[in-house]
Amino acid sequence: MMAVLFDFSGTLFRIESTESWLRAVLDEARIALPEPELTQAAKALQVAGALPGGADPAQLPEDLAEMWRIRDQSAELHRAAYTGLSRQVRLPEPELHDALYDRHMTPAAWTPYPDAAEVLYGLCERGIGIGVVSNIGWDLRPVFREHGLDRYVDAYVLSYEHGIQKPDLRLFAAACEALEVDPRDTLMVGDDRRADGGAAALGCQVHFVDHLPAAERPDGLRPVLDLAD
């Protein structure tokens, strides 16, 4: 392998829990909710699918269906889709819906998987190029910098910057071009069989990991080091 492409959410990083997400925003706004109400609101937000990087909506509202399908093609669509889902849940102040969206873009909301640094370092030591290919509506580079992983990444290919989203082959092709590698010498690592699996049609090898909480997946990325030999 000459290069490895990684997905972001659920692959290299995991978003915080819905309860932690809501609690941080309420604390920032200095709004106190009784614990049972906070827990209930967090569960409702989770069911609604309002946390980017979290669970998908249990039931997608019809008026958001088309926007949801193409949400990763622009920053505006991404924000509108997720705040639209959030607004299905009653919160103490209307402004909290945008505050929740803003919170999820902060490095504090994300945790690297325990073996992410080890695997990225190992690939760099072997001279293997590393790219991040993500369906996303905002710039994730600060998350990598804050957690000390940006030093390992040679190229970022983000859907909202290209106006296309995985499994569109053009996104994987852009990553291979940025790394100056042949897709046939490239491994794509992700957690979404449809989106990330699209790289196979370009000629890339594909490896899947489970989208689990970080503490429950301590070494899910380590097989990548063997696959990249």
Across 43-63, average pLDDT: 96
Read off the pLDDT band of 114 (50, 70, 90).
Answer: very high
Give Cβ neighbours of residue 172 (< 8 Å, ≥ 6 apart): 5, 133, 157, 166, 183, 188, 198, 199, 202, 204
Q: Give residue 2's identity as a one-letter amino acid code.
A: M
- Convert the pLDDT of each residue in 203-213 to its tens digit: 999 999 999 99
According to the model, what pLDDT value does residue 62 have?
95
Flag whether pLDDT at 101 surpasses 90: yes
Across 21-42, average pLDDT: 96
Flag whether pLDDT at 194 surpasses 90: yes
Determine contact, residues 160/133, Cβ cutoff 8 Å: no
Q: C-alpha dihedral over 115, 120, 126, 132, to 10 degrees?
A: 140
Determine contact, residues 159/72, Cβ cutoff 8 Å: yes
Q: 26 φ, ψ to 5°?
A: -65, -40
Q: How far is CA 153 from the centre of its chain?
A: 16
Flag whether pLDDT at 201 surpasses 90: yes
According to the model, what pLDDT value does residue 211 have?
94
Determine contact, residues 67/81, Cβ cutoff 8 Å: yes
Residue 24 to residue 2: CA distance in whole angstroms: 41
Flag whether pLDDT at 229 surpasses 90: no
CA 198, 199, 201, 207 dihedral sign is negative
Cis ω before 167 (30° cut-off from 0)? yes
Q: Which 8-state DSSP code applies to residue 111? A: E
CA 67, 41, 56, 161 dihedral sign is positive
Mean of pLDDT over the chain: 97
- Convert the pLDDT of each residue in 139-165 to its tens digit: 999 999 999 999 999 999 999 999 999
According to the model, what pLDDT value does residue 219 have?
96
Give Cβ neighbours of residue 16 (< 8 Å, ≥ 6 apart): 24, 108, 109, 110, 111
Closest CA to 198 of 228, 161, 157: 157
* pTM greater than the 0.85 cutoff: yes
According to the model, what pLDDT value does residue 20 have?
97
